[in-house]
């Protein structure tokens, strides 16, 4: 395993941990071992993508690795991410190959991913991971990033807040949870 | 359809203005989608006006007749977010007009609707610059009082947070803060500018003078600041722009135009005349919510209604009423510091354009 690859692996591991910690995620589901290394105090279960998408029980954080490439059928990744978001009580973390880097195959670009992710929640973080030290001293470079970072990074990550997005939406949820008035 | 280069188009407006040559459609268009507004601003009574707003279907018939000429489209109100179909209107503007810049001034009040529509609007406008200008006239509760909208400032902070998040995935989104300088806040502009930059972290901060406009129903209101006070405020803003130049090209262009605009607006207030030629009704236009076409929103004189012309903008634009408006403006029968039209006027004034260009690349003041 090359130094660059190990650095990328380490960056992904630390990023997943930081997101789990930031959201206080006690329960985490991941669709690949590589995405599931949240370590620390969190309980992490790695399940097959099909099982993850089809399940109904909710967890605090769902982590997905390269969903657009792995989801069944090229057109299925949008529905797959939406299904994952429904299972995430607090956040969905999507790690994907960065389409702006040459030679990344048919990964959807940031705009295509953003359209889907903004439909299922609020994208709170977009970061580029595992950059060569010559490009960035840090493991993680937050967007908006410069052109060089966008062209060089192999992976980028989106943290999607799946909790209700506005005070009104949160109030409405509380009202629904409390049941009908006078009941 | 291939777009005519902007400089060629600007030359065409100058010829049309000087010699009455062939008319072009406007390069700068304001589309006002509703007068309704939950704010009760001290400087604006537009909310009192009630009309039958154009529907999405009507916009869909109208926008193609603009032949993709407008480069800069401002979507104004009222509060545009009262319209649940705003995202669809923006999508039509993007696909049928294809402007380079889409500008939406926002009061930030209807939080849930903004959170629902703004991500869609950001997606629809990929390929153009989407400039979202938050209206901030004071800080905290003083802002709420000035805007007649309790809780507004807190909601603006929520909207700014959303826009900052959108910028992480949509690089074409630009966050601006916009202040209307009136008698009610002119003495506080340096503090408002400083605090607004700290709170909202905008890509650009801009200001405009409060004026009497027919559109806003403010013709009798004593809101325009004294010229000396306005000059003090804009001198400060100019100094701040020079000290903190944005690196974002669109924000930088806006700043350079602002530097010229502040000087121009102060001179217009001092001299009460058109300091440079005005191209309102020629290079810039305003579409009212009910389909009336105006040369500008200060005079808000209808050139005709697109509803009476099968939604053909050109039919109104080429009409005799439109020509009469242009003749009146050319005869200097009016003068105002309206920022939107002033931007186009500055681009059409060679000395001003030279100064803006030099300023953009960091030459001169």
Does residue A18 contact residue A125 with C-beta atoms inside 8 Å? no
- The beta-carbon neighbor of A144 closest among B112, B120, B167 is B167
Segment B53-71, tens digit of pLDDT: 999 999 999 999 999 999 9
Q: And the tokens for B69?
A: 């000429």
- Domain A2-177 sits in CATH at 3.40.50.150
Does pLDDT of A46 surpass 80?
no
pLDDT band at A183 (very low <50, low <70, confident <90, very high): very low
Angle (deg, nearest 10), helices B249-271 and B350-360: 140
Say what the pLDDT of residue B281 is: 96
Say what the pLDDT of residue A182 is: 40
Lowest mean pLDDT among A64-78, A158-172, B73-87: A64-78
Q: A11-36 burial, b if ≥16 CB within 10 A, otherwise e? A: bbbebbeebbeebebebbbbbbebbb
pLDDT band at A41 (very low <50, low <70, confident <90, very high): very low
Does pLDDT of B2 surpass 60?
no
Say what the pLDDT of residue B72 is: 96
Pairing label, strands A122-129, A43-46? unpaired
Higher pLDDT, B217 or B7: B7
Shortest Cα distance, chain B CAs vs residue A125, angstroms? 7
Say what the pLDDT of residue B274 is: 96
Q: Which of B169, B247, B249 would you mutate first to test chain A, the one with the most A CBs within 10 A?
A: B169
Does residue B80 contact residue B217 with C-beta atoms inside 8 Å? no
Section B256-280 average pLDDT: 93
Is B274 in CB contact (< 8 Å) with chain A?
A: no
Q: Which of A81, A91, A109, A144 would you mutate first to test chain B, the one with the most B CBs within 10 A?
A: A144
Section B192-199 average pLDDT: 97
Does pLDDT of A56 surpass 80?
no
Residues in chain A whose Cβ is within 8 Å of chain B: 110-111, 113-115, 117-119, 122-126, 142-144, 158, 165-169
Section B67-88 average pLDDT: 96
ipTM attached to this prediction: 0.83
Is B154 in CB contact (< 8 Å) with chain A?
A: no
Q: Which of B87, B108, B119, B126 would you mutate first to test chain A, the one with the most A CBs within 10 A?
A: B119
Is there a contact between A114 and B170 if contact means CB atoms under 8 Å apart?
A: yes
Burial bucket for residue A48 (CB in 10 Å: 0-12, 13-18, 19+): exposed
Is there a contact between B168 and A142 if contact means CB atoms under 8 Å apart?
A: yes
Shortest Cα distance, chain A CAs vs residue B172, angstroms? 10
Section A62-82 average pLDDT: 79
Section A43-66 average pLDDT: 79
Shortest Cα distance, chain B CAs vs residue A123, angstroms? 6
Does residue B59 contact residue B53 with C-beta atoms inside 8 Å? no
Q: Contacts of residue B174 in chain A, CB cutoff 8 Å?
A: none
Segment A90-149, tens digit of pLDDT: 999 999 999 888 877 777 889 999 999 999 999 999 999 988 888 888 889 999 888 899
Say what the pLDDT of residue B17 is: 93
Mean pLDDT of chain A: 81
Say what the pLDDT of residue A4 is: 63
Q: Within chain B, where are the H helices?
A: 6-19, 56-62, 86-92, 111-124, 140-147, 152-169, 189-200, 227-243, 249-271, 313-317, 320-330, 339-348, 350-360
Q: How far apart are CA B283 and CA B28, in angstroms?
A: 6
Chain A, nearest residue to B165 by Cα:
A124
Highest-scoring range by mean pLDDT, A21-30, B92-101, B252-261: B92-101
Q: How far apart are CA B145 and CA B109, in angstroms?
A: 14
A and B: number of Cβ contacts within 8 A: 49
Is there a contact between B165 and A165 if contact means CB atoms under 8 Å apart?
A: no
Does pLDDT of B267 surpass 80?
yes
Q: What residues form DSSP beta bridges with A122?
A: A161
Does pLDDT of B308 surpass 90?
yes
Section B285-293 average pLDDT: 98
pLDDT band at A1 (very low <50, low <70, confident <90, very high): very low
Is there a contact between B169 and A165 if contact means CB atoms under 8 Å apart?
A: no
pLDDT band at A49 (very low <50, low <70, confident <90, very high): confident
pLDDT band at B219 (very low <50, low <70, confident <90, very high): confident
Is B170 in CB contact (< 8 Å) with chain A?
A: yes
Show me where the domains of chain A are located.
2-177
Is there a contact between B169 and A169 if contact means CB atoms under 8 Å apart?
A: no
Does residue A70 contact residue A31 with C-beta atoms inside 8 Å? yes
A147-153 — which CB contacts under 8 Å span 24+ positions? A150/A98, A150/A100, A150/A101, A151/A100, A151/A101, A151/A102, A152/A101, A153/A98, A153/A100, A153/A101, A153/A128, A153/A129
Residue the block writes with tokens 């939604």: B311
Q: What residues form DSSP beta bridges with B177?
A: B134, B205
Q: Contacts of residue A122 in chain B, CB cutoff 8 Å?
A: 115, 162, 165
Is there a contact between A126 and B171 if contact means CB atoms under 8 Å apart?
A: no
Q: Which of A92, A94, A122 would you mutate first to test chain B, the one with the most B CBs within 10 A?
A: A122
Pairing label, strands A88-97, B292-294? unpaired
Does residue B258 contact residue B343 with C-beta atoms inside 8 Å? no
Does pLDDT of B31 surpass 60?
yes
Is there a contact between B169 and A117 if contact means CB atoms under 8 Å apart?
A: yes
Nearest CA among A75, A157, A114 for reference residue B124? A114
pTM of the predicted model as reported, rounded to 2 decimal places: 0.90
Chain A, nearest residue to B170 by Cα:
A111
Lowest mean pLDDT among A88-97, B89-98, B207-216, B291-300: B207-216
Does residue B96 contact residue B60 with C-beta atoms inside 8 Å? yes
Cis ω on the peptide bond leading into residue B15 (within 30° of 0)?
A: no
Is B248 in CB contact (< 8 Å) with chain A?
A: no
């Amino acid at each position: 395993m090359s130094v660059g690859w190990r650095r990328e692996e380490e960056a992904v591991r630390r990023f997943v941990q930081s997101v789990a910690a930031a959201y206080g995620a006690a329960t985490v589901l991941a669709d690949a071992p590589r995405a599931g290394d949240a370590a620390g105090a969190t309980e992490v279960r790695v399940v097959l993508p099909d099982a993850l998408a089809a399940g109904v029980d909710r967890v605090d954080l769902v982590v997905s690795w390269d969903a657009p490439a792995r989801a069944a059928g090229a057109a299925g990744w949008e529905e797959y991410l939406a299904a994952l978001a429904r299972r995430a009580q607090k956040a969905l973390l999507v790690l994907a190959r960065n389409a702006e880097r040459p030679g990344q195959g048919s990964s959807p670009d940031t705009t295509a991913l953003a359209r889907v992710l903004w439909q299922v929640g609020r994208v709170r973080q977009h970061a580029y991971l595992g950059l060569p030290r010559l490009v960035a001293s840090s493991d993680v470079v937050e967007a908006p990033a410069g052109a060089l970072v966008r062209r060089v990074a192999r992976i980028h990550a989106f943290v999607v807040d799946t909790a209700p997005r506005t005070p009104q939406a949160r109030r409405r949820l509380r009202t629904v949870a409390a049941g009908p008035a006078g009941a | 359809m291939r777009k005519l280069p902007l400089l060629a188009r600007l030359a065409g407006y100058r010829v049309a203005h000087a010699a009455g040559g062939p008319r072009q459609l406007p390069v700068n268009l304001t589309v006002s989608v509703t007068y309704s507004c939950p704010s009760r601003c001290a400087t604006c009574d537009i909310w009192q006006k009630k009309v039958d707003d154009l529907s999405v279907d009507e916009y869909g018939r109208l926008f193609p007749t603009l032949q993709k000429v407008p480069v800069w489209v401002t979507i104004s109100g009222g509060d545009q977010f009262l319209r649940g179909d705003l995202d669809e209107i923006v999508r039509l503007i993007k696909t049928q007009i294809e402007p380079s810049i889409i500008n939406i001034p926002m009061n930030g009040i209807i939080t849930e609707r903004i959170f629902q529509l703004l991500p869609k609007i950001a997606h629809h406008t990929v390929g153009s610059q989407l400039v979202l200008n938050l209206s901030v006239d004071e800080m905290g509760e003083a802002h709420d009082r000035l805007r007649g909208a309790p809780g507004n400032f807190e909601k603006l902070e929520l909207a700014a947070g959303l826009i900052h998040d959108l910028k992480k995935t949509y690089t074409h989104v630009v966050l601006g803060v916009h202040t209307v300088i009136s008698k009610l806040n002119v003495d506080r502009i340096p503090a408002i500018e400083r605090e607004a930059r700290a709170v909202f972290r905008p890509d650009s901060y801009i200001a405009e003078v409060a004026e009497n406009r027919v559109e806003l129903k403010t013709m009798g209101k004593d809101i325009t600041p004294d010229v000396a006070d306005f000059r003090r405020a804009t001198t400060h803003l100019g100094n701040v722009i020079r000290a903190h130049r944005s690196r974002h090209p669109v924000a930088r262009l806006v700043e350079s135009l602002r530097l010229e605009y502040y000087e121009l607006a102060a001179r217009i207030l001092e001299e009460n005349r058109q300091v440079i030629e005005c191209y309102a009704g020629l290079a810039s236009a305003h579409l009212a919510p009910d389909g009336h076409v105006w040369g500008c929103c200060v005079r808000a004189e209808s050139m005709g209604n697109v509803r009476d012309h099968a939604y053909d903008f050109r039919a109104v634009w080429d009409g005799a009423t439109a020509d009469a408006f242009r003749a009146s403006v050319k005869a200097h029968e009016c003068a105002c510091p309206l920022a939107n039209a002033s931007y186009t006027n500055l681009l059409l004034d060679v000395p001003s354009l030279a100064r803006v260009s030099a300023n953009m690349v960091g030459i001169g003041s």
